[in-house]
Amino acid sequence: MAHKRKIKSRDIMKKISSIPAPKETDMEVKEILIDNIDMSDRGFPDIKREGVFEHRFKCLSCGLEFKVYSWQEFRHTDENTFCPECGKKGGKFHKSIKTLSTKKEFDVLDKNEIFAQMEK
Ligand SMILES: [Zn+2]
């Protein structure tokens, strides 16, 4: 039986405190309103969080079963998801969507957050 590791806030704080402080610099610090930052070209699309969803797939070409985690219930479909093993796209291989959380805000202590799923 696989050992399940629980994530404690104390462990998270220990990890955060072990990150070295940035080196001092003489660069000018500018204040920019967060609304003025364009995130569209930074690999993190401005998507609306609906919760945490586990999309289960089975590739009908190679048989691989895999899961994709998302903040959106209907973001991943047969049409926009590639098999990570054989690279095939399309076909009828989306099996199910499991709702893990309906929280609209990220909660670091919630075991249903995507990062906590990676610890299993
Ligand atoms: Zn495949």
Which chain residues have CB less than 5 Å from ligand 1, an ion?
59, 61-62, 64, 83, 85-86, 88
Tens of pLDDT, residue by residue over 36-68, are 766 555 555 567 899 999 999 999 888 899 999
pLDDT digits (tens, 9 = 90+) for 74-92: 988 888 888 999 988 866 6
Q: CA 48, CA 114: separation in Å to the nearest integer?
A: 15
CA of 21 to the centre of ligand 1 (A): 44
pTM: 0.60
62-69 contacts at long range (C-beta below 8 A, 24 or more positions apart): 62/86, 62/88, 65/95, 69/114, 69/117
Domain limits, the chain = 48-120
